[in-house]
Amino acid sequence: MKNNCYPLIARVKPIISSGHTGLAIFLLFIGLCSFIYTATKGLQSIEQIDLHNQASRQALQNSILIGETMSLVKDIETGQRGFIITGDESFLLPYKHAHDLVQETNKKLKVSLAADREDGYSHERLDDLMQRRIRHAEFLIEQRRKNGAAILNDPSLYLEGKQMMDEIRQEITFLQNDQMSLSAHRIHQAQEVQEHSMNLNFWLSIWGTALLFVSAMFLIREKRIRDLAQARLKNSNEMLERVVHERTLQLQHALQRIKKFAMELDENIEAERRRLAREVHDQLGQIFTSLKLVMLGAKGEHKAETLKEKAEEIADLLDEGVNVARRISSELRPALLDDFGLSAAIEHYAEAFINRGGPAMTIAILHDSTLTPQQANQLFRIFQEAATNVLRHAHANRMWINGNFDNNVYHFIIIDDGVGPQQIRKDASGVRNMRERATLLGGTFEFGPAEEQGTKITVHIPLQLEGGA
């Protein structure tokens, strides 16, 4: 900039000797050169501040990506551990979800860190640790499936996985601290550039006497631009922090809900097993005992009429045993659900439900062929839970069960004409179980009063159709 001003200075030197006019022109020229120089530096400062702010935002985004990667690795660890301890495949849901995403997230993290760091940080160690941990988890799951609970007696299998998780946590902690330090450093650099630019503007107000007004206008405009950029950066950082905090709370809440639902589901399974065991013992046991007594009574008989009566009794007992076995099998999982779909299974269940003293039912299930087996099963379980609640609490005379498909969403509605929603007990799990089943399908669950009288339950399940989005 000084070199560019030298030719002009040489031209205006003769004018200085002409008195106040020449001096004013000279000072004006000096002020103009100072303003041009300062304006140039100001634009460079804005660019530097923007670069530092971008680097700071990138560091914060990297920190979030690092946290997501660690969260996925923890999901793999939690799912594997839960499955090894219980042998329940449902514990592998977070493991499978994280296993599908961790590779892509790790790849994004690797690319982002390689582009952001100036010291050429190598991601190979973290990548190698994560790959080893995933393979070790797959190995433990395979061993649990092959050897059963015997794997729990070999603590050496867990020690290697724990060591790898400790090393991964150490590496993740190092990366997060490094990114936060980098963000703070970039912000500090931006502040230094801003302070330097403001000092330069202060001296401009002294040197640019003749151009004070014009210079002030430009300086105000420049300051507004910088303040706006700083305000946007501040708002962006605050919003990013809020999003991270809210997302963390959501993930924690979701994890607690999954754990609680899994425990309640396990308790319900155990309770159902005990009930079925009692039914098998009380009903089938009695039938077989009676069958044995009849056969023992027929053993010493020689009269044809008596033997015929005994044979008829045996046939009746066998028919009763077959009916009991079929009823128990149907309660475990209706065969109609797999063979003929949701509508047939609900109608079959409703017939037995009404015979046990339940309210009358009006059923209109349409387009149930669009449902996957898992979706049909979960909706059937929601219907079972709702029917049980109506029988226990609603004092209803009729229920309406409707299902229909519209705009890639399956709508499942249950209405009764009972007393309506009551205050839910803290230990009650019926509504919570229905809501969790809908959530597992990626859908929504609504529970509230019906339009006229009673209770209304609405479930919306998104569908993936062939050739659809």
The beta-strand segments (E) located in 30-91 are none
Tokens representing 356 are 């046990």
Tokens representing 173 are 């902690």
Residues 6+ apart with CB under 8 A from 222: 39, 42, 46, 201
What is the reported pLDDT for 171? 80
Tokens representing 386 are 């709702």
pTM of the model: 0.39
Tokens representing 1 are 């900039």
Q: Closest by alpha carbon to 389, among 362, 413, 363, 416?
A: 416
Structural element, H or E, at residue 13 = helix 2-16
Using CA atoms, how far residue 277 sits from 36, 322, 388, in Å, is: 92, 16, 20
What is the C-alpha separation between 162 and 168, in angstroms, rounded?
10
What is the reported pLDDT for 52? 67
What is the C-alpha separation between 140 and 144, in angstroms, rounded?
6
CB 100 within 8 A of CB 79: no
What is the C-alpha separation between 243 and 241, in angstroms, rounded?
5
Q: What is the DSSP letter of 432?
A: H
What is the reported pLDDT for 38? 73
SS3 407: coil
Mark out the alpha helices in 117-211 (DSSP H runs): 124-147, 156-207
Using CA atoms, how far residue 11 sits from 6, 15, 16, 209, in Å, is: 9, 8, 10, 21
Q: Closest by alpha carbon to 223, among 247, 196, 201?
A: 201
Structural element, H or E, at residue 413 = strand 409-416
Low-confidence ranges of the chain (pLDDT < 50): 2, 8, 12-20, 23, 119-120, 466-469
Helix, strand, coil shares of the chain as percentages rounded to 5?
80, 10, 15
CB 450 within 8 A of CB 456: yes
Question: pLDDT tens across 370-425, in order?
Answer: 998 889 989 998 998 899 889 888 889 999 999 999 889 999 999 999 988 877 66
Q: How far apart are the first and last CA of the chain?
A: 59
CB 424 within 8 A of CB 389: no
Neighbours of 19 (CB within 10 A): 9
SS3 211: coil
Q: Closest by alpha carbon to 389, among 414, 413, 352?
A: 414
Q: Closest by alpha carbon to 140, among 125, 166, 162, 170?
A: 162
Using CA atoms, how far residue 123 sits from 58, 66, 164, in Å, is: 17, 12, 16
Number of H helices, E strands in the chain: 12, 5
